Structures are given as C-alpha cells and as structure tokens.
Structure 1
Amino acid sequence: MALVRFGWEPFREIDTLQRQMNHLFDSLTTTSEDVGSAFVPPAELQETPEALHLKLEVPGMNREDIDVQVTADSIAISGERKLERHTEEKGVTRSEFRYGKFRRVIPLPIRVQNTNVHGEYKDGILSLTLPKAEEEKNRVVKVDLA
C-alpha cells in the first residue's frame, strides 16, 4: 500500500512565491541596455494659441533614419537607433553596439493642419511645429444669455 500525502505544503508555496517575486524584481530592475528591449524616445508636447510644439529626444541618429508621419489627430515617429559605446578598463577595450528600431504614435489633443508641419533635427532633439486646424483656433464661442 502506497502512502499518499494530501494537504497544504506551506514551505513549497513560499519557495514558489519567492522565485516569482525574484523574477518580478529582476524584470523591473533590468535596463533596456541589459536585455536589448525596444527604445522609446521621451517626448514633450506644448500647446500655444496657434500650434502644438512637440520635442522628441532621439540622440545618436541621422535625420535620414527618422520617419515622421502626421495625420489630423496623431503623429507617428519611427526610426532606427544605433549607439556605440567604448570603455577601457585595466588595459582592455570593450565595445558595445546597440541597435534598435522604434515606433512611437502620439495622439494629439486637438486637430492639426498636417500639410503645414515644420520640423528640425538638431543635437539629438527632433522639434516639430504642428499648426492647429482652423476650427480648433476658433473654438471659443460667446453665448448670449437671455
């Protein structure tokens, strides 16, 4: 006759939980350089009465490697980033190359004139001026009260 053990095994469950928590913390503390994950450039969007101004940080790229597509209510920016880093320690030179394609779609809070967008790429910063659509400029309506 075989002995079959039924019931709760708290130490086995604690061990499983500990392994899962370690895996979770490892995935949170691992940088994109460690795993080669997708590069997502940081962005800043400002609104003025006439236009939206978008800045995107994409260092280490050539302007030919950046593609910008604008619709009336969103902007899609894609490209390929190549980053080279050299370090020398104790007479040993170490070289790391990082390649990665990115694509970022940013929904715009208002409609823009996508045929009249101006852009500039300088010192790793992509700056875009997106003029507001005419109906967005004239949004304020005076209401007569009876």
Structure 2
Amino acid sequence: MALIRWEPFREVDSLQRDMNRLFDSLMRATDGEPASSMAFVPAAEIEETPEAVHLKLEIPGMEAKDLDVQVTAEAVAVSGERKSETKTEEKGMTRSEFRYGSFRRVIPLPARIKNDEVQAEYKNGVLNLTLPKAEAEKNKVVKVNIG
C-alpha cells in the first residue's frame, strides 16, 4: 500500500474552485449571458401584522406610470422597464453604470389577502403596498396534534 502525502492547501484550492464555479453558474442568466447584463431585481421588505401584509420595494429612478403591479390572493408581481437615455459627451465616449431593461419580481405572500383592497404609494423610489388580509386569515386558528 502506497502512502500519499496530504496537502491541506490543495483541498482549499479545490474547494475555492468549486465555490467559484457555483457562483459563476448562479450569476448566469437563463440565456447564458452574464448577470451584469441583466436588469436589476428590486430589493424587498415584507412585514406581517394581524390586519395586513406590508410590502416595500426599492425601485429608484422610475416613475409610477412605468410600474406594473399585479396582486393575487397569494402573491404580488411587480414589473417595469428602465429605458436608457444615452448622452454622448465631447470626446465621443459615454460611461454608464446604471442597468437598463425590464425586470419582474414575484413575491409570495405569507397569508391570503383581499387583492381588491390593496393600497399602493410610490414615493422617493420606494413602492409601499398595504395588502389587507382576508377575514378567514385574521381569525385562523390551527390545532396542532402532538405525536
């Protein structure tokens, strides 16, 4: 039986390569383009109270008329499109770090809501949605059987 010398740094290198490969695959779009060419995904914050679900989405640089909000009893879908405004400078070079294009985010809700009573406000790049809960959800009591 041959003895093999163990080199711990080789194991770390192998792990690092595997992690890089994982992150590279996650950062690719479904059509194979790098994620840097994809449109942004707005950050979201959700809070549940006994009466309603409050959802905040950070969508700066857009106007309310450019947003499409669709609400079902179980989820909220927000989509829109940022249009590029290209300005050419004197030397013929333009640099932009903004991301343009369409986006869509679907957020599942923790409780059923009355989707015909949703209130929305868009101010300073933040979309606030107040989603009142359905009556059955407010008074819902679940009995748990213990083994």
Q: TM-score, normalised by structure 2?
A: 0.66
Aligned residues of 1:113 and 1:130 also touching (Cα < 8 A): yes
How far residue 36 of structure 1 moved from its aligned partner, in angstroms, is 1.4
How far residue 27 of structure 1 moved from its aligned partner, in angstroms, is 3.5
Partner of 1:71: 72
Partner of 1:62: 63
**Where do residues 31-110 of structure 1 align in structure 2 (5 Å cutoff)?**
35-82=36-83, 94-96=94-96, 98-110=99-111
Q: Compared with structure 1, are the counterparts of its residues 103 and 26 closer, same or farther at alpha carbon in structure 2 (3 Å cutoff)?
A: closer
CA distance in structure 1 between the aligned counterparts of 2:77 and 2:35, rounded to whole angstroms: 27
Code of the residue aligned with 1:98 in structure 2: it is R
Q: Could you say what the CA RMSD is over the residues aligned between the two structures, in angstroms?
A: 3.6
2:80 counterpart SS class: strand
CA distance in structure 2 between the aligned counterparts of 1:48 and 1:94, rounded to whole angstroms: 47
**Where do residues 125-140 of structure 1 align in structure 2 (5 Å cutoff)?**
125-140=126-141
Aligned residues of 2:39 and 2:100 also touching (Cα < 8 A): no
How far residue 93 of structure 1 moved from its aligned partner, in angstroms, is 6.8
Aligned sequence identity (%): 57
Larger radius of gyration between Structure 1 and Structure 2:
1
Q: TM-score, normalised by structure 1?
A: 0.66
Q: How many aligned positions are there?
A: 119
Aligned residues of 1:59 and 1:123 also touching (Cα < 8 A): yes
Q: Which runs of 4+ in 1 moved over 2 A?
A: 21-28, 81-86, 91-95
CA distance in structure 1 between the aligned counterparts of 2:23 and 2:94, rounded to whole angstroms: 25
How far residue 127 of structure 1 moved from its aligned partner, in angstroms, is 0.3
